[in-house]
Structure 1
């Protein structure tokens, strides 16, 4: 069990700040930014929807991490409840990554098939963002396996004691 209460409190404070920041992005910054540069609603609305869903998946991850922290504070990290929250994190990250990758693919295709705007800069940037966004997902898949293994060891240890 993590006995460092200040670390848990600091992490919770950062999670609250991150959640508030994401809500401001979803509610104010993203619609305002897209309405300034893209007058066509046929382009603006799908972009806003996809990006908002990606940010909502990150917000879901924050909620799951909050629940895991409450399990840590009650010394119940190695339980089935924690595995469910970790699974929810993996699914949220997978959904967000899939939406982001699909969005990047569509934007790259539009840039590639439009000779007037053909530029490798934005597709390369989107490729980098998609690759970097896959790292938390892959890390959580590994962590889920480690948690499953540690939960099994904890159950065996409890039986021996």
Structure 2
């Protein structure tokens, strides 16, 4: 499917760059940032380390999505995207996004609860931002599920069409 190369090749370049950036963040930037936060605010206890764990797991979820997207692009180039093989990769994307969303919802709930019960932290901006992020994440996950259903329908239609021909 050479006509898709004008999209597939630049997308792969961007996926590689994003993946490299995520690896750098995962192993260098995030640990340093949260270590500094823990050193500057020792009264925060284990919270910086919990946030570091959350951030690394979120990054890992997005790395899974990148690898699965790469594999799907391979299927697109081979004109096999409408095959059962594609569903394993799409399902992995769905589950990685669900895991990322559940992690985000859990951390957001915890942070909002801490802010609500700590009078000196009652800034409404943070809970509003976190709630918005959780809602947007839910929309993204559900959109991916709908796209998976559309891929399933297209695969069935293509199989039926191939049988007719």
**TM-score, normalised on structure 2?**
0.92
CA apart distance, 1:2: 6.8
1:82 aligned partner? 86
Cα deviation 1:9-65 (Å, max 9, x = unaligned): 100001001111111111111112222223345112111101110111011000000
For structure 2, list consecutive stretches of 5 or more residues without a partner in the other structure. Answer: none
In the aligned structure 1, how far is the partner of 2:70 from the partner of 2:101?
21
Q: What is the CA distance between 1:119 and its match in structure 2? A: 1.4
CA contact 2:82–2:151 (8 Å) conserved in 1: yes
For the pair 1:153 / 2:157, whether they are aligned, the reply is: yes
CA RMSD of aligned residues (A): 1.3
Q: Alpha-carbon deviations, 1:54-101, whole Å to 9, x = none?
A: 111011000000000001111100001101111110000000110011
Which stretches of structure 1, 4 residues or longer, exceed 6 Å deviation after superposition? none
Distance 1:19 1:87, change over 3 A: same
Structure 1 length-normalised TM = 0.94
Pick the aligned partner of 1:120 from 112, 124, 131: 124
- 8 Å Cα contact 1:111/1:118 also seen in 2: yes
| 1:8 aligned partner | 8
| Structure 1: runs of 5+ lacking an equivalent | none
Q: How does 1:50-61 map to 2 (within 5 A)?
A: 50-61=54-65
